Amino acid sequence: MTDPIVTRNDDASRYEITVDGVLAGFSEFDPRPGAIRFVHTEIDPAFQGRGLAGILAKAALTDAAASGDAIVPLCPYIAKYLETHEIPGAEIRWPKRPSTSSGTQGQTSSGTQGPTGSGPQGPTSSGA
pLDDT, position 99 = 66
User: What type of residue is 56?
Assistant: L
Q: What is the pLDDT, as a whole number, of residue 117?
A: 38
Point out the residues of the chain with pLDDT beneath 50. 102-109, 112-127
pLDDT digit string (tens) for 40-63?
999 999 999 999 999 999 999 999
Q: What is the pLDDT of residue 66?
A: 97
C-alpha distances in Å from residue 19, one per residue of 4, 6, 88: 5, 9, 26
Beta strands in the chain, from DSSP E residues, in sequence order: 5-9, 14-19, 22-32, 35-43, 70-73, 91-93, 108-110
Coil, strand, or helix at residue 107?
coil
The full set of domain ranges for the chain reads 5-110
**What is the structure's pLDDT at 43?**
98
Please give the full DSSP string across 45-77, using - where no structure is assigned: GGGTTSSHHHHHHHHHHHHHHHTTPEEEE-SHH
Structural domain 5-110, CATH architecture: 3-Layer(aba) Sandwich (3.40)
